Amino acid sequence: PTGKNKADMGSHAFWKTQPVLKFDELGQPIGEEGPIKKINVDEVGKEPSAMYPGFEWVTMDLEEEHQLEEVFELLTGHYVEDDEAMFRFNYSKSFLNWALKAPGWRKEWHVGVRASGSKKLVAFISGIPVELRVRKKVLHCSEINFLCVHKKLRSKRLAPVLIKEITRRCYLAGIFQAIYTAGVLLPTPISTCRYFHRALNWEKLYEVGFSPLPSNSTKLRQITKFRLPDTTSTEGLRLMEVKDIDSVLGLLKRYLARLDMAQVYTREEVEHWLLESEDSKDQVVWSYVVEDPKTKKITDYFSYYRLESTVIGSKKHKTVNAAYLFYYATETAFQKDKSLLKPRLNALVKDALTLAKKANFDVFNALTLMDNPMFLEEQKFGAGDGQLHYYLYNYRATPIPGGIDTKNLA
């Protein structure tokens, strides 16, 4: 046998020691959903485990501009790339501020590793507190993200050490569950979505190698296909303002209650995640509402956030400016006539695309979650290569279907 088979479904020397579902438990009935392991905080280590010789643990202070810059530099050079190493996520500093300093954030959950000699930051992992509803139960958990190991230190089993350390810090804070997402397949996803991409600037996406030219098409035809109107069409559409927070929170709560799994937002979180302070130099999130001109009620909401990718090999273009569909909600979901939802979502998303194009984005990305399958094809999104797996740590739950996945059907 070759070593390759071993790597495939994987022996998972680390993950098999962790309180997560095994692949072969997938087909079996889960029973009552709940924690896999009972954690006794008294038995949790009070100190970090030993770090490899030549390296040391550090708690990052992201209120300090310089330390935020260090995390930014590490991620810019070493974070997630596509399989062909053509693009790498380039989270901006304002994005990191937004994502890592969400309401209730703790400095202790911004964990780094430095080289002892040079003090250079070589690895990072983070968590933020979130309330997560899985079907009827609400879990206090952490959302783990930005796990990153410097390219020169890969495959040395540093990632498991980082994961165990953030786990220890969560346990000490009385948090025994976590949610995280990854493009790689690990034991065992609770849900899997596919990325879909809608070209806004097709020519640039073609030039950087992101969008192919189909053999039965021409450049001009592709450009025409993805053309968008100059103005939006939904009456009453405008930017969300502070005065809309309560309406948006109410609408979003009702909309998300229809899903098997969703974050439970407080007012403060809506303000943080959906409304950016006006003095932000480098805007991350764009939120829009539809205000009914007659009743003045907020009937719809949508948002997207900005995340650039570095183009690794191109001379002509340094980055791809991508918008990611974030939250949305619409009253049509609650009307008796169920056939209203699909056309309304299509109209809203078309407006979102139109606005993103005006704001100079190159591509608009969305996953196969929420009600997205109702508009992805109609709005000319195409299935990408990438999947996003959703995972729960120390929680046993029946998997949640992840919407359409045309790549798997093909």
Shortest reach from residue 197's CB to ligand NHW, in Å: 19
- Cβ distance to ligand NHW smaller for residue 151 or 221: 151
Q: Which residues contact 56 (CB under 8 A, 6 or more apart)?
A: 113, 114, 116
Q: Nearest distance from residue 234's CB to ligand NHW, in Å?
A: 34
- What is the closest distance, in whole angstroms, from the C-beta atom of residue 293 to ligand NHW in the complex? 43
Provide the minimum distance between the beta carbon of 309 and ligand NHW in the complex, in angstroms, as a whole number: 13
- Residue ranges binding ligand NHW (CB under 6 A): 10, 12-15, 78-80, 142, 144-149, 154-160, 163, 166-167, 170, 175-178, 180-182, 184, 186, 393-394
Nearer to ligand NHW, 76 or 181 (CB): 181
Choice between 148 and 345, CB closer to ligand NHW: 148
Of the pair 93, 342, the CB lying nearest ligand NHW is at: 93
- For residue 266, the minimal CB distance to ligand NHW (Å) is 21
Least distance in Å: CB of 17 to ligand NHW? 8
Contact 338, 369 (CB under 8 A): no
Distance from C-alpha of 286 to C-alpha of 115, rounded to nearest angstrom: 38
Q: How far is the CB of 172 from ligand NHW (least distance, A)?
A: 10
CB nearer ligand NHW, residue 158 or residue 270: 158
5/216 with CB nearer ligand NHW: 5
Shorter beta-carbon distance to ligand NHW: residue 402 or 404? 402
Q: Smaller CB distance to ligand NHW: residue 13 or 220?
A: 13
Q: How far is the CB of 342 from ligand NHW (least distance, A)?
A: 32
Provide, rounded to whole angstroms, the least separation between the CB of residue 13 and ligand NHW: 4
Burial of 346 (0-12, 13-18, 19+ CB in 10 A): middle
Nearer Cβ to ligand NHW (155/339): 155
Residue 220 CB, nearest approach to ligand NHW (Å): 38
Asked whether the beta carbons of 206 and 213 are under 8 A apart, the reply is: yes
Distance between CA atoms of residues 150 and 123, nearest Å: 6
Nearer to ligand NHW among residue 108 and residue 203 (C-beta): 108
